[in-house]
Chain A
Amino acid sequence: MLALWIVLGLVGLILLYGVFTYNSLVRLRVRCENAWSQIDVQLRRRYDLIPNLVESVKGYAAHEREVFEEVTNARASAQAASGVQDQARAENQLTAGIRRLIAVAENYPQLKANENFLALQEELTGTESKIAFARQFYNDQAMRLNTLVQSFPSSIVAGLGRFEQREFFDIEEPARGPVGVRF
Chain B
Amino acid sequence: MFAGGLGYLFGLLLRVGIAGLIVALLIAAGLSYYSYLYGDRLVLRASRARPVTHEEEPRLHNIVEGLALAAGLPKPTVYVVPEAAPNAFATGRDPEHSSIAVTQGLLEKMNRVELEGVIGHEMSHIRDRDILLGTVVATLVGAVVLIAEYMLRWFWWGGGRLGRGRDRDGGEGFAILFALGIVFAILAPFFAQVIKMAMSRRREYLADAEGALLTRYPPGLASALRKIAADNTPMRVANNATAHLWLNQPSRIPGESNHWWENLFSTHPPIQDRIRILEEM
Q: Do A and B come from one complex?
A: yes
**Residues of A in contact with B (beta carbons under 8 Å apart):** 31, 34-35, 38, 42, 119, 122-123, 125-127, 129-130, 132-134, 136-137, 141
Residues of chain B lying within 8 A (CB to CB) of residue A31: 72
From A122, A125, A130, A141, B65 is in contact (CB under 8 Å) with A130
A136 and B65 contact, Cβ closer than 8 Å, known pairs A122-B59, A123-B58: no
B58–A133 CB distance below 8 A = no
B67 contacts partner chain A, Cβ-Cβ < 8 Å: yes
B58–A130 CB distance below 8 A = no
Residue of chain B at shortest CB distance from A136: B70
B89 to chain A, nearest CB (A): 22
Q: Which of B44-77 contact A (CB under 8 A)?
A: 58-59, 61-63, 65-67, 69-72
Residue of chain A at shortest CB distance from B215: A133
From A35, A133, A141, B66 is in contact (CB under 8 Å) with A133
Taking each of B71, B72, B112, which has the highest tally of chain A beta carbons within 10 Å of its own beta carbon? B72
B54 to chain A, nearest CB (A): 10
A51 to chain B, nearest CB (A): 19
A137–B65 CB distance below 8 A = no
Q: Give CA–CA (A34, B72) in the complex, Å.
A: 9
Residue of chain A at shortest CB distance from B120: A133
B216 contacts partner chain A, Cβ-Cβ < 8 Å: yes
Residues of chain A lying within 8 A (CB to CB) of residue B61: 126
Residues of chain A lying within 8 A (CB to CB) of residue B67: 133
Listed by A's residue number, 12 A-B pairs whose Cβ atoms lie within 8 Å are A119-B58, A123-B62, A126-B62, A127-B62, A130-B62, A130-B66, A130-B69, A132-B66, A133-B67, A134-B70, A137-B69, A137-B71
State how many residues of chain B have any CB contact under 8 Å with chain A: 15
Q: Give CA–CA (A125, B63) in the complex, Å.
A: 10
**A-contact bits for B71-90, CB 8 A (1 contact / 0 none):** 11000000000000000000
Residue of chain B at shortest CB distance from A42: B69
A134–B69 CB distance below 8 A = yes
B59 to chain A, nearest CB (A): 6
Q: Which of B2-61 contact A (CB under 8 A)?
A: 58-59, 61
Residues of chain B lying within 8 A (CB to CB) of residue A136: 70, 216
From B58, B63, B69, B112, A38 is in contact (CB under 8 Å) with B69
B184 to chain A, nearest CB (A): 41
Q: Give CA–CA (A34, B59) in the complex, Å.
A: 24
A27 to chain B, nearest CB (A): 11
Q: Give CA–CA (A134, B71) in the complex, Å.
A: 9
A137–B70 CB distance below 8 A = yes
A129–B63 CB distance below 8 A = yes
Residues of chain A lying within 8 A (CB to CB) of residue B70: 133-134, 136-137
Residues of chain A lying within 8 A (CB to CB) of residue B65: 126, 130
A126 and B72 contact, Cβ closer than 8 Å, known pairs A119-B58, A136-B216: no
Residues of chain B lying within 8 A (CB to CB) of residue A126: 58-59, 61-63, 65-66
Residues of chain A lying within 8 A (CB to CB) of residue B63: 126, 129
Q: Give CA–CA (A38, B69) in the complex, Å.
A: 8
